[in-house]
Amino acid sequence: MAAAAMLLTFQAAALSHNLGIWRDVASLAAEACSSAAAAAASPVDQVIVEGLPGSIDGVYFFRNGFPECVQMRASHPLAISLQTLETTSPTPSATQVVLRWDADNRRLE
């Protein structure tokens, strides 16, 4: 009986730990989408996002769906090109905004 109680306690603690990580990564995703949506609200033709990680702390993070997430966070339909790159792009033009993922601070800058 004690072994079953210990196993159940461990499973509950592990679940709580994992849900906390998923909640934190979901919050980072929401912030990233909001940052890109805010950049897209300025008068630009293209928003380029560089270096989004594929996962954070073992949780998938924007391998797919980033443009859709940005559109959902925008206050109006976006009529711009949203491009995601894995590496650094050339110097942006006057009609482009480049946002880069800062892995240390875990946000788009």
92: closest CA among 45, 30, 53, 57?
45
Confidence of residue 89 (pLDDT cuts 50, 70, 90): low
Note the pLDDT of residue 32. 95
Residue 88 has pLDDT above 80, yes or no: no
Q: How far apart are CA 64 and CA 54, in angstroms?
A: 9
pTM: 0.83
Query: pLDDT, tens digit, for every residue of 10-68?
Result: 999 999 999 999 999 999 999 999 999 999 888 888 888 999 999 999 999 987 889 89
- Could you tell me if 94 and 44 are in contact, meaning their C-beta atoms sit under 8 angstroms apart? no
Note the pLDDT of residue 101. 93
Q: Which residues of 38-48 are buried (b: 16+ CB within 10 A; e: fewer)?
A: bbbeeebeebb
Label residue 75 exposed, middle or buried (CB < 10 Å: 0-12, 13-18, 19+): exposed
Note the pLDDT of residue 27. 96
**Residue 63 φ then ψ, to 5°:** -70, -30
Query: pLDDT, tens digit, for every residue of 54-75?
Result: 999 999 998 788 989 999 998 8
Exposure on the CB side of residue 17, measured as CA atoms within 13 A: 8
DSSP label at residue 35: H
